[in-house]
Amino acid sequence: MAASALLALSAGAALADVTEQEAIQAQVAGAMASADYAAAKCPKLGVDKERLAEQIKKSGKTAEQLRATEDYADQRNVVETMAKGEKGFMVCMLLARAHGGYGRGIVVEKE
């Protein structure tokens, strides 16, 4: 269930009138929330900064604007809530695989 919660949020809200630009913004903002958590709490994970910069540019917003979105806040809250649960140790194992679409490849396993 933990993986499905992360995956559900990473896909962004499934709304009928979501534009491609809004989907990009939602997916990148969610991946940024995971990346910020991973950078602070998951020593075996890293952030592909080049990929992140490309996706931020594609979103049409700045990193600060994306961090101020509901999508970022929702993903951050899910990750933090899961981390506090009895299976919190699994969060770092899931983050590198939790995002698809425009958020894919932002959080990566360190070699």
Domain residue limits, the chain: 2-8+21-109
73 close to 34: Cβ distance less than 8 angstroms: no
Q: Which ranges in the chain belong to alpha helices (H)?
A: 2-10, 20-41, 49-59, 63-67, 70-84, 91-94
Percent of the chain at pLDDT above 90? Answer: 78
Residues of the chain with pLDDT under 50: 1, 4, 10-15
The pTM score is 0.82
42 close to 92: Cβ distance less than 8 angstroms: yes
